[in-house]
């Protein structure tokens, strides 16, 4: 194969013979049936055959090759606007030609523009199967691709990786049968089912793909489970003392997930649990109670969050809760320098501080734990796989292979199918209930042209005692521009309403300043907080009941949902105003409609999955995890469930089959999953 061809194949993601086998058609042409010219159905491609009666280059109205052919039923004009002069000779009168294209029966007779055609030397049988049309790239024609794939099909091992005992109850097509059918379906194949990928042959391929994914995820789950971890027995003394001090009772859902975590922590292998719960469902307190179980057993806890504002808030909350219990919380802010930093590091290293909170600064080289037993990762989707790994490496006693337990938290709800597939290496707990007394946030849409009106409304509300966030637009291309806009908005507000206490918070602010502003907002000294999207995650100021989001049309669904989740955290009624700029793109319009109509994070996530697909939704985590090519998680839930069960079965009963299947589907890519 030439270098150029290899490069083109690489563009299509084809690197091996088996990749060719799995390069499946987008659609099919039907060249299995010859139509008489006069009977060729209009409006859809058909195959006709006849004898050339005349073939010339014409110059009016523009240069073109015009060829008339007939088959006894009628005459057909073949018209080409791009052609080689040699074609005139090739299509000399008397030549037998088979042409495939759409026939138009017009006023001047029937014609076909740019048909695919073939000169017939002898009698040639028509194709016995539908002609596959593959996704391709420039420079690689369908014919070339077809012959490459044909050869790959002929000399690849297409035998089934799955034993009959597994296949039979699933009522799935055999692998060879499925693949051959998809490449060369018989003339009577149901084309809609094929093209919509719902045919049993497609289901087999999708099943195999999902099975490979499940196998590799479950394997990496097992591999991690084989590491040791401190068994942290659940005594519950500290937890009980904290609960007595809380101004609220845990919800049923919080108690349920806490029990799951407590059980995991008591095991001698590392917990790998994802705690999901919508914005405001109360994950922090669950993490705090889990931390106490760890501390009670003499081990340390690390709490990592993606922004300094969030770390600061966790610090305050935990310090208040744990201070009463006589426990010291160390705060490892990124901005911390000099002596305070050295002291904090030392107290963590000596084990004097049983709990440390910080941003990714926590997993820097110099941070040493005395004996880390639990790592809590808040808003885990903001961290990459590698960052989470680094924290795990701070293991309890790394030289003995023991690892800390991991609790990951996420307020970006992941639809069940996504969680079951891309997070199959984790155990998942879900808080599916909100603390009582919350009223849903009223969402209102305003066009940018009414900005002044909105500003006045917010001013009046703040003067009357409310607290509000004013979220400045996201400017993708430039942090600096985003900052500038925030500054201008802030100054504008200050100037227009000198009597109003306005604050400004953004990512570039020094840690101390950020902390001071947030505290002032928390205390109610600041009534209106102008902010960039740094407040998107985690911020918890229950007294704030108003939010304005500028240029809401630029934001994604989950971002809007997260932002809106900053209000509606107390008992008061809250309102979120979405300012948008016309004209709206159709997607932006749909997003605004969804956010307007929905409050449930899981529901919104399902829409998000539909609009953006899994790659975008998974964000950072996507690195290293091969995405699905064939299965569609928004429609193939049943296959996913079957594949999951089958994976468990194979790993239990038939490791050889599991290995063969993984080798076929993932090959070297499997290595990537070994993290």
Binding-site ranges for ligand ADP (CB under 6 A): 248-251, 254, 277, 279-285, 411, 435, 540, 542, 569
- From the CB of 275, what's the least distance to ligand ADP, in Å? 9
Instruction: Indicate which single residue of 115, 282, 473, 538 sits in contact with Mg ion (rule: CB under 5 A).
Output: 538
474 binds, among Mg ion, ligand ADP, none (CB under 5 to 8 A by kind): none
CB of 303 to ligand ADP, least distance (A): 12
Of 302 and 537, the one with the shorter C-beta distance to ligand ADP is 537
Residue 435 contacts which entry, Mg ion, ligand ADP, none (Cβ below 5-8 A, type-dependent): ligand ADP
Binds 277: which of Mg ion, ligand ADP, none (CB < 5-8 Å by kind): ligand ADP
Nearer to ligand ADP among residue 505 and residue 666 (C-beta): 505
CB nearer to Mg ion: give 185 or 538: 538
Q: What are phi and psi of 303, to 5 degrees?
A: -120, 115
| Least Cβ distance, residue 265 to Mg ion (angstroms) | 20
Distances (CA, A) of 667 to 16, 177, 202, 650: 10, 22, 21, 18
| CB closer to ligand ADP, 214 vs 380 | 380
Question: Taking CB within 5 to 8 Å according to partner kind, which of ligand ADP, Mg ion, none is near residue 101?
Answer: none
Least Å distance, CB 404 to Mg ion, is 20
Q: Smaller CB distance to Mg ion: residue 72 or 247?
A: 247
- The angle, 0 to 180 degrees and rounded to 10, between the axes of the packed helices 200-225 and 637-653 is 50
- 3-class DSSP assignment, residue 357: strand
C-alpha–C-alpha distance, residues 381 and 608, integer Å:
15
Indicate which of ligand ADP, Mg ion, none lies near residue 204 (CB less than 5 to 8 Å, by partner kind): none
- In whole angstroms, the minimum distance from the beta carbon of 543 to ligand ADP comes to 10
Smallest gap from residue 281 Cβ to Mg ion (A): 9
* Cα-based distances in Å from 147 to 140, 144, 454: 11, 5, 64
248 binds, among Mg ion, ligand ADP, none (CB under 5 to 8 A by kind): ligand ADP
CA distance 277 to 432: 6
Residue 285: contacted member of Mg ion, ligand ADP, none (CB under 5 to 8 Å, by partner type):
ligand ADP
Angle between helix 557-564 and 601-618 (nearest 10): 130
Neighbours of 316 (CB within 10 A): 17
Closer residue to ligand ADP, CB minimum distance, 55 or 355: 355
Instruction: Identify which of residues 193 and 243 has a Cβ nearer to ligand ADP in the complex.
Output: 243
| Closer residue to ligand ADP in complex, CB, 296/540 | 540
Minimum distance from residue 558 beta carbon to ligand ADP (Å)? 13
Q: Which residues of 7-28 are buried (b: 16+ CB within 10 A; e: fewer)?
A: ebbeebebeeebebbbbbbeeb
CA distance 512 to 510: 6
- How many helices (H) and strands (E) the chain has is answered by 24, 23
- Cβ–Cβ under 8 Å, residues 207 and 162: no
User: What tokens were used for 236?
Assistant: 């519950």
Cα–Cα distances in angstroms (integers) from residue 223 to residues 157, 264, 390, 674, in the given order: 30, 16, 17, 8
* Residue (376 or 402) nearer to ligand ADP, CB: 376
CA angle, corner 301, sides to 296 and 304, nearest 5? 155
Whole-number minimum distance, CB 430 to ligand ADP, in Å?
12
Q: Which is nearer to ligand ADP, 267 or 543 (CB)?
A: 543
| Contact partner at residue 251 from Mg ion, ligand ADP, none, CB < 5 to 8 Å by partner kind | ligand ADP
Cα separation, 492 vs 94, whole angstroms:
83
Min dist. Cβ of residue 314 to Mg ion (A): 8
Residue 463 CB neighbour total at 10 angstroms: 13
Least spacing, CB of residue 378 vs ligand ADP, in Å = 7
Cis peptide upstream of residue 583 (ω within 30 degrees of 0): yes
**With CB under 5 A, what is the number of residues at the site for Mg ion?**
1
In the list ligand ADP, Mg ion, none, the entry touching 282 (Cβ below 5 to 8 angstroms by class) is ligand ADP
**Contact positions toward Mg ion, by CB under 5 A?**
538
């Amino acid at each position: 194969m030439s270098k150029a061809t290899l490069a083109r194949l690489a563009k299509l993601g084809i690197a091996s013979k088996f990749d060719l086998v799995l390069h499946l058609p987008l659609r099919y042409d039907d060249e299995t049936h010859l139509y008489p010219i006069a009977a060729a159905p209009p409006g859809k491609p058909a195959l006709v055959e006849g004898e050339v009666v005349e073939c010339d280059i014409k110059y009016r109205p523009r240069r073109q090759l015009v060829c008339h052919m007939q088959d006894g039923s009628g005459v057909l004009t073949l018209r080409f606007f791009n052609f080689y002069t040699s074609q005139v000779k090739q299509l000399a009168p008397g030549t037998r030609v088979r042409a495939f294209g759409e026939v138009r029966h017009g006023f001047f007779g029937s014609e076909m523009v740019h048909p695919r055609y073939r000169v017939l030397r002898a009698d040639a049988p028509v194709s016995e199967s539908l002609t596959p049309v593959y996704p391709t790239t420039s420079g690689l024609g369908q014919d070339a691709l077809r012959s490459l794939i044909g050869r790959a099909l002929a000399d690849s091992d297409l035998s089934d990786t799955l034993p009959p005992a597994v296949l039979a109850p699933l009522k799935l097509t055999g692998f060879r049968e499925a693949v051959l059918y998809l490449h060369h379906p018989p003339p009577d194949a149901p084309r809609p089912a094929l093209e919509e990928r719902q045919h049993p042959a497609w289901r087999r391929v999708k099943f195999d793909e999902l099975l490979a994914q499940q196998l590799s995820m479950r394997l990496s789950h097992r591999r991690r489970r084989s590491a040791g971890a401190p068994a942290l027995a659940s005594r519950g003394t500290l937890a009980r003392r904290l609960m007595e001090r809380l101004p609220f009772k845990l919800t049923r859902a919080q108690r349920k997930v806490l029990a799951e975590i407590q059980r995991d922590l008591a095991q001698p292998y590392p917990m790998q649990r994802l705690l999901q719960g919508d914005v405001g469902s109360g994950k922090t307190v669950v993490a705090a109670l889990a931390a106490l179980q760890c501390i009670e057993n003499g081990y340390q806890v690390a709490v990592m969050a993606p922004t300094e504002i969030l770390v600061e808030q966790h610090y305050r909350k935990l310090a208040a809760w744990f201070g009463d219990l006589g426990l010291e919380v160390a705060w490892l802010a990124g901005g911390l320098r000099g002596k305070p930093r050295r002291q904090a590091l030392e107290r963590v290293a000596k084990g004097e501080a049983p709990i440390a909170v910080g941003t990714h600064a926590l997993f820097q080289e110099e941070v040493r734990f005395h004996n880390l037993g639990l790592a809590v990762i808040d808003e885990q989707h903001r961290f990459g796989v590698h960052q989470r790994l680094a924290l795990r490496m701070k293991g309890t006693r790394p030289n003995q292979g023991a690892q800390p337990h991991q609790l990951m938290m996420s307020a970006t709800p992941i639809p069940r199918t996504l969680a079951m597939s891309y997070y199959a290496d984790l155990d998942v707990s879900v808080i599916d209930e909100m603390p009582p007394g919350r009223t849903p946030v009223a969402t209102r849409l305003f066009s940018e042209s009414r900005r002044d009106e909105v500003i006045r409304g917010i001013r009046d509300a703040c003067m009357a005692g409310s607290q509000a966030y004013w979220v400045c637009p996201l400017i993708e291309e430039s942090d600096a521009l985003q900052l500038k806009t925030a500054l201008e908005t802030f100054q504008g507000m200050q100037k227009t309403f000198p009597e109003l206490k306005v604050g400004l918070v953004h990512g570039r602010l020094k840690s101390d300043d950020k902390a001071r502003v947030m505290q002032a907002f928390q205390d109610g000294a600041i009534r209106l907080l102008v902010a960039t999207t740094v407040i998107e995650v985690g911020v918890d100021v229950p007294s704030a009941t108003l939010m304005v989001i500028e240029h809401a049309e630029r934001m994604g669904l989950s971002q809007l949902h997260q932002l809106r989740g900053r209000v509606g955290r107390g008992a008061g009624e809250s309102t979120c105003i979405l300012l948008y700029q016309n004209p709206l793109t159709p997607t932006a319009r749909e997003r605004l409609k969804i956010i307007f109509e929905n409050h449930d994070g899981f529901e919104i996530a399902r829409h998000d999955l539909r609009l953006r697909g899994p790659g975008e939704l998974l964000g950072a985590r996507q690195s290293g995890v091969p995405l699905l090519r064939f299965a569609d998680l928004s429609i193939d839930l049943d296959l996913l469930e079957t594949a999951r069960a089958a994976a468990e079965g194979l790993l239990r009963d038939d490791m050889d089959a599991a290995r063969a299947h993984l080798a076929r589907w993932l090959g070297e890519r499997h290595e990537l999953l070994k993290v």
